[in-house]
Amino acid sequence: MENYLSVLNPEQRQAVLHWGKPLLILAGAGSGKTRVITTKIAYLVRERGVDPRSILAVTFTNKAAREMAERAQLIDSRAAEAMIRTFHSFGAWFLRRNGALIGLDSNFVIYDDDDTVTLLSSIMPNTTRAEAAKVAHHIARAKDYFLTPDDPELALIDHRPQFRNIYKLYEERLKAIGNVDFGDLIKKPVEILRAFPEVRQRFQDRFQVILVDEYQDSNVAQFELLKELYTSQTYLCVVGDDDQSIYRFRGAEVRNILEFPDRFSETDIIRLERNYRSTAPILAVAGAVVDNNQGRLGKTLQAERGNGKLPTLVFLPDQETEASFCAELIEKSLRSRGGTYSDWAILYRTNAQSLTFETELLRRHIPYKVVGSLKFYEREEIKDALALLSIMVNPRDEIAFKRVINKPARGLGQVTIDKIIEAASHAEPASRGNLLESCRNILPELSKKARNGLEGFLRILAQSRSMITTEGDVCKNSSVASDRLTAGDGLSALIVYILEASGIAEYHATEDEIAGTQRLSNLQELANAASLYPATEEGLAEFLEHIELDRSLESGEESNDSVTLITVHNTKGLEFRKVIITGLEQGIFPRDDKQDEDLEEERRLFYVGVTRAKDELYLTTCALRRMYGRASYNQPSLFLSEIPLDYIKILGQIPRGFKSGPKSASICDPSLHGAGQRDAEDGRLGPYARQLPRAPRTVSSDGLWRIGASLFHDDYGYGQVVRISEGPEGPLIEAQFETGKQVRFLSKYQSERFMRIERDGY
């Protein structure tokens, strides 16, 4: 017994030995929760004599379930007889044995997302597959929240009156077919347990011990299942971390863990607060931010590894400088202190932010990998956008033509597409290979639907060509209004127009709503990148050439020793020696639309990102970032203002008005604090100070203007100063207005026409 319990710390040991009342194990990041739950399974079998067949342990991934089973069996082989499954695997097992009670054959098939969309398309014959996919997503979410077609709260999922009827028809058709979807694997077992008391009693008698891992990720339906299996005689133990509940968009309900002590009487709570991953200063930053959440049970992580290097907060002028700083930081660290590229991870809020980092790392020949997503130029939506541009400038590009000619569907079959390509290859020399000319020639042979679709495609490409001139006057005769994408400077308007007019934006917007894939964000980032190029034929050629050069650099073999680029969501469960969390600005992280519970989840997401770091942590924020095709001024993230200055080192120029959290009692060596102190070296700190580009001027030399200042103009409305430069005639001010208008003016001539509105105590 002592052999396998001796490796546990006192709190872990207490959790393993606990018995009797319900138990909530609040397991902080890096506190060894997997060891606890697997050891507990073996302990119950080995020492308490619990029949392993009476143990049910559930988690959320097959990988976690396998790991749990393997580690428990290493301690006692009899643990192999315990039921260790994912929630959905348990639900399928249950229905195979009890589904007949509700008319479900044991050989039912589990419908995946595509099957569900196909079934809904037959129920809604006059709608597109994209619309059917949206409805499928809403039905899945309704089942996560255990809502039936008749439930009054269904309107919270989809307020349209017809949704309730479609959901009801879908359930009737699914039952008639005799199959189930993934939501049914949780929902139907609950319904059976409630409708058949003898079945409920049988399962309650069988499973005397119920263990749940990652409980903070459970949804409402999973809680209802747990509630039906539980009795006062059941030993119930859940393990989770309320501070790491970050999957609300998937249906996870943080209240399941927050309200566990209220829902199960006499619950004991054991906190695992000893962190074996990170150093004390890193945990201090994580704790300072997450402590601001109201919805948490509370715990304070203690660093078993002791003190270490203070985290560094870096104020940077723009996103290009941010990418350059990250690359330089990695290179210099490897040169001066050794280590490997794989020590480093660059974190960001959305996949779209990877482009700037990928571009910089490629140019410096720094190997990298994108985790949880394809590299930027390998993503489907980006390939689609580039194919449209390519066929527009080169009508002989057969690969690009095949990719987008019938995407989204325009009524063109494969036979017609092959005929177009064949005709182009045998055309007169002057137009040989010109696929667009071949399209025009075949129009009279097509059906009305196909002809209309192809004519529309040709018209869009022609209109796109007309949007660029030798002078760069873009969009004189074209509308780029869009609810999805925003046009800005340079070529960005062309990108937005062609994506919207072609239907590609709408096509991928549907994917976003269903799967949260952030495809629109990636398309917007492509438009942002295009804003740096003039709206001319030469500018478009240069833009496409730049992309091709980057893609060719990408094509090399991926090294095992590489920097990790990853969204903060995808870092859950991972760890890295050195972490850089980027894009810490209001509107980026957290997003502007996040309030109340959503803002608290964003704060938990920041906490997850910080606690991935073992040895070093860097936080970056930019004064200017290209968003919606324009350079926009951004305030530093709210989360940065919640970190006491004595917890961090600072590089770069602190924006005026930036306020940090209150100076807090030290949890690590006082000699490591005092980061608010500044070097004589241009106000910067640390070994990378000389590599930092100078921040742009933030206050005009005449003292009248500062970056971020609000102003008003009779013609343009309210705006904000986004850039200040000095010229021969004094300060040159650039302002962006709420109408989208950007204006430059010389301070000495225009200061009276622009009313300054000082805010925030400046």
**Catalytic site positions:** 33-34, 213-214, 244, 612
Rounded CA-CA distance 281/283 in Å is 5
Residues in the chain: 762
Rounded CA-CA distance 532/524 in Å is 13
Rounded CA-CA distance 280/647 in Å is 10
Asked, as a colleague might, if the bond just before 590 is cis with ω within 30 of 0, I would say yes
For 746, the enclosing helix (H) or strand (E) is strand 742-746
590 near 626, Cβ under 8 Å? Answer: no
The two beta strands, 710-713 and 755-757, are: antiparallel
264 near 236, Cβ under 8 Å? Answer: yes
Q: Which residues 6+ apart lie within 8 Å of 582 measured at CB?
A: 322, 326, 346, 347, 348, 353, 357, 620
Among residues 459, 464, 522, 469, the alpha carbon closest in space to that of 493 is found at 464
**Is 385 assigned a ligand-binding role in the annotation?**
no
**Is 539 assigned a ligand-binding role in the annotation?**
no
Q: Which residues 6+ apart lie within 8 Å of 509 measured at CB?
A: 484, 519, 520
Rounded CA-CA distance 384/390 in Å is 10
SS3 667: coil
SS3 95: helix
Q: Is 740 left (phi over 0), alpha (psi -120 to 50) or beta?
A: left
For 15, the enclosing helix (H) or strand (E) is helix 10-17
**Is 308 assigned a ligand-binding role in the annotation?**
no
Cα dihedral sign, 589-216-647-759: positive
16 near 40, Cβ under 8 Å? Answer: yes
> Which tokens sit at 388?
């449209």
Rounded CA-CA distance 406/399 in Å is 13
* DSSP codes, 362-415: HHTT--EEEETS--GGGSHHHHHHHHHHHHHH-TT-HHHHHHHTTSS--S--HH
474 near 467, Cβ under 8 Å? Answer: yes
∠727-729-733 over CA atoms, to 5°? 60
Rounded CA-CA distance 647/603 in Å is 18
- Residue 96: CB atoms within 10 Å: 14
Rounded CA-CA distance 173/148 in Å is 15
* DSSP codes, 309-358: PPPEEEEESSHHHHHHHHHHHHHHHHHHH---GGGEEEEESSGGGHHHHH
- Residue 51: CB atoms within 10 Å: 14
**Is 30 assigned a ligand-binding role in the annotation?**
yes
272 near 297, Cβ under 8 Å? Answer: no
What values do phi and psi take at 594, rounded to 5?
A: -95, 120
**Is 33 assigned a ligand-binding role in the annotation?**
yes
> Which tokens sit at 311?
């985290």
The dihedral over CA atoms of 537, 542, 544, 550, expressed in degrees to the nearest 10, equals 180
Rounded CA-CA distance 368/349 in Å is 18
**Is 27 assigned a ligand-binding role in the annotation?**
yes
Asked, as a colleague might, if the bond just before 655 is cis with ω within 30 of 0, I would say no
∠318-324-327 over CA atoms, to 5°? 145
Q: For residue 713, list its beta bridge partners.
A: 717
**Is 80 assigned a ligand-binding role in the annotation?**
no
**Is 413 assigned a ligand-binding role in the annotation?**
no
- Residue 283: CB atoms within 10 Å: 28
Single-letter code of the amino acid located at 316: L
Cα dihedral sign, 181-184-186-192: negative
Q: Which residues are annotated as a binding site?
A: 27-34
Q: Which residues are annotated as a binding site for ATP?
A: 27-34
